[in-house]
Each structure stands twice: as C-alpha cells, then as structure tokens.
Structure 1
C-alpha cells in the first residue's frame, strides 16, 4: 500500500541561509512582531522538505517501417522553486509495464493499491487516449514514488537511466566519446536527482565513464576532477575494482598535469598489497567498457 507521504530531505534556500529564527537572533525580543513573523516564515520555507516531482508534459508517435508506438516524455525535478534543472527521458508504455512487473515481483504487498493504467488493444493513437494516458502515467509515478521501499530500491533509477546508460556505453565502446559524454552528463543529472534516496554508489559507473571520455578527448583536468569525485563513494562502500582503476587513472593523469600524486600512489599500492589477487589490474577504460553490455 502506498504511503501517504514520503520521507523528506531538508532543502535550504541559499538566499535565506543568513535568516535566523527568533530563538537564534541575538536580542530577538527587541524585534518587532512583523519582523518576527517574517523571520519565522523564512525559516519554515528554508527548511521545507524536498521531494521528487514527475511530469509527463508531452508525447509523440514514432512511426517505423512495420510498426509505430507512442513515447512519453518523463520530466523529473525536485520540489521547490530552487531546482532549475528539469531532466527528462522518453519511455514507452511497454517500459512502464516492465517496470511495474519488476516492482510487483518484490513489492506486491506495498503496491497493492498502485495500479498501472491498463493496456489498450485499440485506440492507442487517439489524441484523447494519449492525453488521458499521460495523466494516468504521471499519477502512477507519483504513487510509486510515495512508497518508501520502492523509492529506495534500485528499480526506480534503472527505469529512469538504464536505457540512456546502455546508449552512452555503446557510443563509448564505438569510440564516439563526444556523443557518449553528452549522454552520460544527462544520465548524471538524473542520478543526482535521485541521490537523496539512493546510495552514493549510484553515480560511480557514470562518473567512471565520464572520466574515461574526458581522458580520451584529451581533457585531463576534467578527467582528474571527475575521477576524484567518484572516490569517496568507492572508498566508503568497498568497490575495490573501481577504486583501484580510479586511483590508477588519477596517478597517470596527475603526473601529466603536474599535480601531487604521492598520496594517491601510496593508497593504490596499499590497496593492491592488501587485496592481492582480489583487485583487478584492469584500467578504468577496460572496466567501463564491460558495463551495460
């Protein structure tokens, strides 16, 4: 059964970080009633909860040689006026159906009252039917997200990113690094929306692939920075293969850039000595191209 309210993550309005509650203001008793009320409203807005919002604002019909189908634009954003980045993907009804089936295999009791709009045998391309289905699918995503266990499971990020990940990694394997980079950046934007409710390791494969693209595009500084960003999660959650490969890239690129890398090199040596036989010596690129096959 869907929970009525998802747990919230605090959101702070950057323009209000210096606003204090009446208890925090030195000599607060000297403020006027109007000032105290304004201060209280500002504090409430500053600490309001953050949730994911789903919109399906548009759809389009794709016609192929022997068939045609409808794709729906799924827009994901965080609640509040401070999220200016609206990230979107396109999904078919069949994608929603597979997603729902996977959820039911694991969360049948929790989703007892969450119903996917039924499949239609006729009229699928009628403008009225498509418009009605857009609203129904939007409501469906909101209901799914309201279930805590589903919200924290890997099924939601897979639904929202896996197709794009596979496309990006296919481009990377084909040596089309610029196109892969663009696709991966969009994937990362989506994953960052999900991070308050997902493990930080969610973005490790994407950051690793981005670092590989930057390096092959002769952008060493971006490759170094991106690989550095992935390290905290792999250190904390024990992703040894990624950790060794990231450290190895950082040492090589760091030397190229003239950055101090002695500590990184020592960490890599200690890791390989401690995990001898368990840590692969493959490069980050070799590791990345094996993913999302």
Structure 2
C-alpha cells in the first residue's frame, strides 16, 4: 500500500516532461483514499510500542511523559537490544548468519526478545484486589474482597485467587502480631469505621491497603514462611475440598483443591514440603496432592490421577540409607501401590516405582494391610498451626 501511495504521489508532483511548479500543491485526503488507512495503521503501531511495561512495582516513573522512560522495563529498550544483538552477533540468532547477511526473521526476533525479557525481569508475587462486593446475609453486611496472586515477570498460566472479608484480615493481623512481634511492631492496619464502611471510596482505599499489607508481609522472610501467613491463603480451600470428598462430591471438590494447590505453589509451600515433609506445610502439601489423586481416580481421569501421584512420590522418595532403616513416610507404600496400578492402566512406564516397592519389601517392611489413601484423606484433621500449638501445650500441661 505504501509503494502505491508513493508512485501516485510521484506522478502527481513530477509529471513526465514538465517542470516542477513552485506553487504549493494542496494534497487532500480525498486525493489519496488510502492515506486514512495508513494513518490508522501508524496510530495502532504507536499505541502498541508506546509507553512502558513495568514488571517491578518498586520502580516508578518520575515523569508522566512516557517518552522519558529509559529504564530496563521499557518495551522499546528490550526490542532495541534484541534487534541490535541480532544484527551484530551470530550467537543470538538460532540459525547463524545467512549467506546474504539477512537479519533475524520475525519469529526468531520475538523468541530472542522473550528470552532476553525473562532473563532480565525478576519474578515476584503480586497481590491484586480484582473485585470487592457488598454481601448482605440476614442481619449481617460485609464487603468480600477477591485477591488474585499473580507471578509477575512472566505470563502466569495458573492464576490463583482467594476471597476474604475485613474480619479475616484483622484476624490474620492479630495472629501475626502475637507470633511475630518484632516484625509486626511498625506494621499498620486500616481501622474499621463507624460510618461509611460500604461507600466506594472506603472500599477502594481498603483494597489498596490490603494489597500493600500482603506485599509487605511477603517481603519479610520470616513472615513469608510463617504457617499463619501461608494458611491464611490455602487452608480454607483444603478444608472445603475435604468436606466435599467426605460426602462423595468429587467433581465439586476439584475446584477448591486445584486452587489450593496453585496457591501453595506460588507461596513456596512445595519447597518447604520437600525439605520438611513432616512439618505442617509438608503435611498440607502432601494432603493436596493425594486428594487430587483420589478425586481424579474416582472420576476416571486416570492420567491426571497418575500425574499427581507421581509428583507426590518424587517428594517422598527416600534415600537408600533411610530405606534400609525403614525411615520413610507411612503413606509411601500405599502411594507406590496406587501409582503402579494407575501406570499399568494408562500404559505408562512404572518400572522405577516397582523397583522401589520391591526394595521396600526386601528390606523386611510389611507392604500388606496398608491404609487406603481415601481413608487417610477423610480422617486427616486439617487445623491451623496455632490450634496445633495450643493442643500441644494442653497435652504438655496434662502430663
């Protein structure tokens, strides 16, 4: 389209055999019907490439003018660096230099930009209030906040969300102050008002305050690993899934269980579970995986059941020394037996886990009369860590 426009403009300004006129030529949009289309394309292009994409919440622009943005988060900076690297270095291009010295193809340029962006932008967990609705229940009235946990610095394919009210946040704050007094000494909390608690302005201010509050808690290493802080996010989903499993509503239980799994993944509970499988967070992490195994198995989704079963086994697989001393998780044997059956049904390689099961048998461990996973899941008491602490104190006083 651009070449046609230039030819038409050239014929208009320089007719064959004539001298250029000194009078200005009024070029209207009607003379060039494609000019408006060209302007629209240019405007769209400028909108797509303009502005700054900021993946780090701590780096804010000093000026409102997007043209002054020159930090590493700018889209144009990333694109410019990728183009420069593509023209000057053969290492960036996956195909190397071509005989004609051509530049990177569009797809290769995009791949190079993505890889550069993911290397340059640090990932962090973002807490964002995406909805706040007023709920009226009989004589009570409250605001329900929906908070999404998003992994920044990348395209988050597994979003996770929670819904909490003001009293839930207040209870979390009180528990953290009791258990982490030093870290919580200077942390403020939005007070409850006697009036105007349900007006838009108050709700908006509290939404931003809750975002900042959770971000600050997560930025402190001690609080980030605190069971009180972690269970605030995922424990309710696990309890809801367990209640639905107890009455045989496995399809409905999948929703809260999968959301609970994604929340634990984002909060780093998986790593804590691997390091301390008998710790509270390790127990909750294992419960979530085994609950999903059971639900998918009951719903005849054997591939998904085996996938989560395999994932749990990778966390529980004992070392050779622990195996000889019979120091392994009590659910390892029924989990191995379940995985072998599921792998056989879906024609998946199961030799690795069959070998481990045989080694356990050879070590003298009893592999018969093992409790079923469903029995364990139904009987497991999912309580908060603070409740466990109180129960232990009562038992210690009694003895």
Range of TM-score over shorter length: 0.7 to 0.9
Per the normalisation by structure 1, the TM-score is 0.77
CA shift for structure 1 position 197: 8.3
User: In structure 2, what is the Cα distance between the partners aligned to 1:158 and 1:42?
Assistant: 35
Q: Is the 8 A contact 1:152 1:198 kept in 2?
A: no
How far apart in 1 are the matches of 2:350 and 2:270? 33
Change (3 A) 1:272 1:96: farther
1:227 and 2:316 matched: no
Q: Does 1:69 align with 2:158?
A: no
Partner of 1:282 in structure 2?
A: 371
CA distance in 2: counterparts of 1:76 and 1:253, whole angstroms: 33
Tell me the CA shift for residue 178 of structure 1: 0.7
Q: Does 2:341 match 1:252? A: yes
Contact 1:52 1:79 in 2 (8 A): yes
Q: Does 1:264 align with 2:353?
A: yes
Corresponding residue of 2:329:
240
- Structure 2 counterpart of 1:154: 227
SS of match in other structure, 1:54: strand
Whole-angstrom CA distance in 1 between matches of 2:364 and 2:266: 34
Q: Is the 8 A contact 1:211 1:224 kept in 2?
A: yes
Deviations 1:62-99 (CA, angstroms, capped at 9, x unpaired): 11122122111111111224224432110011111221
Alpha-carbon spacing, 1:26–1:280, altered in 2? closer, same or farther (3 Å) = farther
Question: Are 2:299 and 1:210 aligned?
Answer: no
Larger gyration radius, structure 1 or structure 2? 2
Q: Could you tell me whether the CA contact under 8 Å between 1:153 and 1:198 is conserved in 2?
A: no
Counterparts of 1:130 and 1:257, CA distance in 2? 51
Greater mean deviation of Cα atoms: 94-103 or 193-202: 193-202
CA–CA distance in structure 1, aligned partners of residues 188 and 174 of structure 2: 11
Q: Which runs of 5+ in 2 are unaligned?
A: 1-57, 59-78, 98-103, 105-111, 275-281, 320-326, 384-399
On the 8 A contact 1:248/1:283 being kept in 2, the answer is no
Change (3 A) 1:106 1:173: same
Residue 53 (structure 1) aligns with:
126
Q: CA 1:271/1:69 → structure 2, altered by over 3 Å: closer, same or farther?
A: farther
Q: CA deviation at 1:156?
A: 2.8
Equivalent residue pairs, number? 270
| TM-score normalised to structure 2 length | 0.58
Alignment partner of 1:110 is 2:183: yes
- Picking from 60, 65, 90, the partner of 2:163 is 90
Q: Residues 46 and 249 (structure 1 numbering): CA distance in 2 closer, same or farther, change over 3 Å?
A: same
Q: Deviations over 1:121-180 (max 9, x none)?
A: 443222222222111111111111111111122333211111111111111111011111
Mean Cα displacement is larger for which, 254-263 or 117-126? 254-263
Secondary structure of the residue that 2:131 maps to in structure 1?
Answer: strand
Question: What's the secondary structure of 2:161's corresponding residue?
Answer: strand
Following TM superposition, by how much is the alpha carbon of 1:198 offset from its aligned partner in structure 2, in angstroms?
4.7
Q: Which residues of 2 match residues 100-139 of structure 1 at below 5 A? A: 100-139=173-212
Q: 1:218 to 1:44 in 2, by over 3 A?
A: closer
SS at structure 2 position matched to 1:80: coil
> Gaps (5+ residues) in structure 1?
6-15
**Structure 2: how far apart are the matches of 1:52 and 1:119?**
27
| RMSD, aligned CA | 3.7
Q: Does 1:195 align with 2:277?
A: no
Single out whichever of 230-239 and 210-219 deviates more from structure 2. Answer: 230-239
The range that moved more, 74-83 or 132-141, is 74-83
Larger RCO, structures 1/2 (Cα 8 Å, 6+ apart): 1
